[in-house]
């Protein structure tokens, strides 16, 4: 990979708005072939037309749709050079999906774990890269492998669950890097900064903060997309596979538990079990 992305195939989830949309616009400008993945059909199609890419519609609240997405991507692309797991969000009220999992846990961790697992053989063939959008909210995580759905842990407006899934993202990427060592695959997670988008749109305090800031709270989507674009387009990012970046700087601040190889392995095995992989 280099600054020019001619001939490079990149899959970006959560690409119909916000930093995902901004990222695919820039990656396409550099010549990449883009799979635009989103759950809103109209917005996803619109972005795909804008970047001369291909639209794929999937709602991560439904794991069957994730499996169908993987099948469609494998049918469409002979190679996948980069998978950017960017979909997910903050959910204010604890809710369950039809699959039987808490929504934050499913959309932010289980669904991208499933998609990555299903696409990994094709990514490995391409000596590709897996990226996942994490957050410095991992610092407020409270990870209990026996209560991944926050059935007993305090909800706290969804923030604690969100931060916990972002810790899970970092652990997932670190374990993925360990398991793919020597294959040519690289994997990184990153904190994009707080981006002024529809993130947390169902959270009253977020709406209030946007109101009093006249919509100027946080980075622009284009600024928020910069770490994703950097990691997707730069061969040598200056850090080992599995590293967590804060913006474009490696070794961002994490919960101490993020360094636990035993926890990363246990989370991986638990995820495999829950998904029946």
User: Which residues carry out catalysis?
Assistant: 162
Q: 254 and 139 in contact (C-beta within 8 Å)?
A: yes
Q: 175 and 267 in contact (C-beta within 8 Å)?
A: yes
**Quick one: 78 exposed, middle or buried, by C-beta within 10 A (0-12, 13-18, 19+)?**
exposed
Tokens at 252, concatenated:
């961002």
**Hey, which residues does 9 pair with through a beta bridge?**
33
DSSP string, 30-54: TT-EEEEEES-HHHHHHHHHHTT-E
DSSP string, 73-118: HHHH-S--SEEEE------SS--B-TTSSBHHHIIIIIHHHHHHHH
Q: 81 and 8 in contact (C-beta within 8 Å)?
A: yes
User: How far is Cα 30 from Cα 53, in angstroms, rounded to an integer?
Assistant: 13
Q: How many CB atoms lie within 10 A of CB 267?
A: 22
**Quick one: 5 exposed, middle or buried, by C-beta within 10 A (0-12, 13-18, 19+)?**
buried
Q: 266 and 122 in contact (C-beta within 8 Å)?
A: no
């Amino acid at each position: 990979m280099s600054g020019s992305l001619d001939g490079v195939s990149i899959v970006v989830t959560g690409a119909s708005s916000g930093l995902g949309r901004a990222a695919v616009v820039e990656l396409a400008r550099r010549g990449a072939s883009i799979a635009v993945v989103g759950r809103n059909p109209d917005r996803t199609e619109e972005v795909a037309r804008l970047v001369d890419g291909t639209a794929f519609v999937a709602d991560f609240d439904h794991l069957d749709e994730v499996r169908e997405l993987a099948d469609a991507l494998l049918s469409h692309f002979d190679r996948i050079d980069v998978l950017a797991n960017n979909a997910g969000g903050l959910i204010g009220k604890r809710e369950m999906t039809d699959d039987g999992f808490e929504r934050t846990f499913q959309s932010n961790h289980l669904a991208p774990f499933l998609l990555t697992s299903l696409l990994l053989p094709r990514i490995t063939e391409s000596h590709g890269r897996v990226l996942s959008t994490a957050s410095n909210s991992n610092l407020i995580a409270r990870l209990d492998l026996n209560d991944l759905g926050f059935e007993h842990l305090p909800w706290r407006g969804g923030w604690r669950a969100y931060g916990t899934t972002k810790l899970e993202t970092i652990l997932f990427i670190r374990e993925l890097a360990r398991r793919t060592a020597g294959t040519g695959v690289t994997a990184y997670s990153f904190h994009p900064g707080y981006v002024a988008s529809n993130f947390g749109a169902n959270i009253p305090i977020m709406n209030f903060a946007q109101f009093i800031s006249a919509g100027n709270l946080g980075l622009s989507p284009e600024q928020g997309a910069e770490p994703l674009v950097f990691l997707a387009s730069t061969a040598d990012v200056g850090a080992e596979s599995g590293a967590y970046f804060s913006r474009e700087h490696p070794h961002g601040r994490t919960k101490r538990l993020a360094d636990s190889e035993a926890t990363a392995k246990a989370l991986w095995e638990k995820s495999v079990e829950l998904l029946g992989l």
